[in-house]
Each structure stands twice: as C-alpha cells, then as structure tokens.
Chains A and B, each alone.
Chain A
C-alpha cells in the first residue's frame, strides 16, 4: 500500500493544514447527505461541504506546486495517513446529532471568516486568491450555522439541551484554532496571526450564544496536536472510509 508524507517545510505544512481543515470538515458534513432532518438542510450541508471541498482542492494543488515533487491534489488527499494530516482536532470529531454538527460548523466558521478575510492580504498570491472566494463562501456558512444555533438554543427544552451539550463537547477543541503559527510565516505576511483574530471570534460567539440563550462554556484545558499530526482516534476511521477506493485500487482513475 502506497503511503506518502509531504515534505516537511513550514510553508507546505501551513498550506496543507488549511487544505486538511477544509477536506476533513467537508467529508464530515458530506456524511449527512441523505440523512439530514429535512431536504433543504440536506442540500445546505452538502453545499457547504462542496464549498469546503473546492477550497481544499485549490489548496492541495497549491501545496503540490510548492512541494514540486510531482504530486497531485489527489495524492495529497488520498495517500497520506492520519499522522500526516494537519487539520484541527475539532473538525475530525464525529458528527453526533444535528445540534453537534451545527455547533462545530458555527465554532469553526466564526474563526474561518476572520482568518480568510485576513488571508486576502497574504503575500502568498495563491493563498490570497483562494481567500478572496473562501471569505464570501464562509460568510454564508457562518450565517447558516448561526441561524440554526439560535433556533436550537432558543427553541424547545430538548433542542436547547442538545445545543448546550454540543458546546460543552466541542469547547475543549476551540483553543487549537488560536495556537501560534510558525513565526516566520506570520512575519513575512503569508499567514494571519491567529491571536489577532481572537477578539473577532469572541465577539461573534458571544453575540450568537446570547441570542441563542446558551451559556458560553468556561475555558479550560484545550486539546491540541492536530497541526503536528497527533490526532484523536476518529481521524483514522474517517480516512479509512474516505481513502478506501485509492487504498483498495491504487491509482484508480476514470
């Protein structure tokens, strides 16, 4: 079985981290296809997944160009094992119920929007170009997730309880979004400084949770490791499904 590891350089790691975030989240959301609570939501989650998959493709293509080892977007998506993935732990967590999926989408989109907005000024021209589109797409994702979270939190006793449980479940993974980046990449203007995005995220989360009548969990121990390839048990299972075809039929194309 062919397994590859991308070259270990700060820039490549940084681009792969964003590509992996988008791909892993896209895959989780696409697991809802055919199972969402209603048709419109089935379409919505699939559409959000498709946007993220598109972002992932552009980023993997860019990563492959940076690496210059003759690999393609597909090689990077399908032939790396879990320790080579650099995505946030939050995004690989299983979907749980609908409230959990929406809460995860909200917590990450509230971060992704200011991140992409800042990345539009990246000195990496391709990253800036991807950002110009992603920023608008994520605006839709954030609004959709926020509207649902408000509806769930300020809904029935049951939906309120589930949304609150989801916040408790995922809060421990939110700190990783703000972990420091490679300083040279921030200094050279390739990547936004995540710490600078914190006030924006705090404000969005505060505003939406207040409207949803949900209590903001207290910050405690935050899980990290995804950016270094140290994942929760869930990513490997996800990749086993996602990469099945290329693993079972190496090099299959059509």
Chain B
C-alpha cells in the first residue's frame, strides 16, 4: 500500500470517528456515543470498508442495535457508504469511561451522573452520596435501584422534593 493511500486511510478513519462520535444515545439524547465512551475505535480495511467498534453499556442495553443503525446511517450521509459496525466486548465498558463533558451534560439534562470511579463501594451502595441534579443538595434518597432504563436508578431529593434519575455505576 502506498504512503498516500495510508494517508487517505487515516483521514477516512478520523472522519468516520468524528461522524460516528456525533451519534446520540436514543434513550439519553443529550449524550453522544463519544461522551458515553461507547465508541471505541475505527479502522479502514483493505477493501476500503470502514469498521467502527462500539461496546455495549449494560449487557442487555436495547439501544445498541439502534446505535449501530444510526452510525451506519450517519456515515452514509457523510459520504462514507462502506461501513460496518462491530460490537466488541473486551475490555468491558464501565461508567468510568464517560467523559467529564458527558457527566456535565447529564446533570444539566436532569440525570445525576455516575460516581467518578465505579468502585466496589459505590457498586455495593455503601456511603453513596448522590447530589440532586436540579438543586445540588445531597439530601437525597434512593427510591429504587432500577429505573426506566437498565442504566438508571430512581432517586428523590428531600430538599427540593424533585424525583430524578441517576446513571448507575457499572
């Protein structure tokens, strides 16, 4: 393969990552898959086909099929017609991969972001302190560990009385 082709390949790879990175989570439309850390990598195969790697969040997250479809559509619109999406399991996704920007967007959207490090303590619900995304108070209580989607728990703020979702640590 010539040097110029390599260069074109690298440009195509970056373009694919940029376009795919704009795809949003269908359940939490303020987060892109780049914010989530779901977009892992992209490469250009010998056949010129772009392969985009994504990793599932929760094992059963039904958004993954939708995300894969949206990536292919977005790439086709951006003149990258030959693309396929690959689901990679290892290394396993963790909420630690969510970017700071993603966490800020979540909070602004009304969802408490996951604790920064998915430590065993946070996972076991010990000494968990969740701030209300609306008023910032830490006077909050858990209503249910399982919420409207696999990644969320249901909480309530006892200061401003608003119920809210929390993105669970994984």
Interface of chain A: mostly helix, strand, loop or mixed: helix
User: Given A137-B170, A140-B168: A129 and B90 within 8 A (CB)?
Assistant: yes
Within 8 Å CB of A91, what residues of B? none
Pair A137/B125 contact, Cβ less than 8 Å: no
Within 8 Å CB of B147, what residues of A? 43, 47
Pair B145/A130 contact, Cβ less than 8 Å: no
* A214 proximal to B (CB < 8 A): no
Pair B118/A51 contact, Cβ less than 8 Å: no
Pair B146/A144 contact, Cβ less than 8 Å: yes
Bitwise, A43-74 to B at CB < 8 A (1) or not (0) is 11011111111110110000000000000000
Pair A126/B58 contact, Cβ less than 8 Å: no
The chain B residue with its CB closest to the CB of A46 is: B146
Nearest CB of chain B from residue A44's CB, rounded to whole Å: 4
B64-97, CB < 8 A from A: 89-94
Pair B144/A133 contact, Cβ less than 8 Å: no
User: Given A51-B59, A54-B59, A54-B60: A140 and B145 within 8 A (CB)?
Assistant: yes
Nearest CB of chain A from residue B83's CB, rounded to whole Å: 21
Pair B59/A40 contact, Cβ less than 8 Å: no
Pair A40/B154 contact, Cβ less than 8 Å: yes
User: Given A50-B60, A53-B60, A133-B170: A144 and B92 within 8 A (CB)?
Assistant: no
Nearest CB of chain A from residue B54's CB, rounded to whole Å: 14
Within 8 Å CB of B56, what residues of A? 54, 133
* A139 proximal to B (CB < 8 A): yes
Pair A143/B150 contact, Cβ less than 8 Å: no
Within 8 Å CB of A51, what residues of B? 58-60, 150
Pair A40/B125 contact, Cβ less than 8 Å: no
Within 8 Å CB of A24, what residues of B? none
Option from B58, B90, B146, B148 in Cβ contact (under 8 Å) with A132: B90
Bitwise, B40-70 to A at CB < 8 A (1) or not (0) is 0000000000000000101111100000000
* B135 proximal to A (CB < 8 A): no
Number of B interface residues in the complex (CB < 8 A): 27
Option from B89, B94, B146, B148 in Cβ contact (under 8 Å) with A48: B146
* B28 proximal to A (CB < 8 A): no
* B143 proximal to A (CB < 8 A): yes
B136-152, CB < 8 A from A: 143-148, 150
Option from A44, A125, A133, A144 in Cβ contact (under 8 Å) with B59: A133
Complex: A132 Cα to B92 Cα, angstroms? 6
Pair A58/B146 contact, Cβ less than 8 Å: no
Option from A53, A57, A125, A134 in Cβ contact (under 8 Å) with B90: A125
Q: List 14 A-B contacts (CB under 8 A).
A: A40-B144, A44-B146, A47-B147, A50-B60, A54-B60, A58-B89, A125-B90, A126-B89, A126-B90, A129-B91, A133-B56, A137-B58, A140-B123, A143-B145
Other 18 A-B pairs with CB < 8 A, given A54-B58, A132-B90, A143-B124: A41-B144, A44-B144, A50-B60, A50-B150, A51-B59, A53-B59, A54-B61, A55-B60, A57-B60, A133-B58, A133-B92, A133-B93, A134-B59, A136-B94, A136-B123, A136-B170, A137-B170, A140-B123
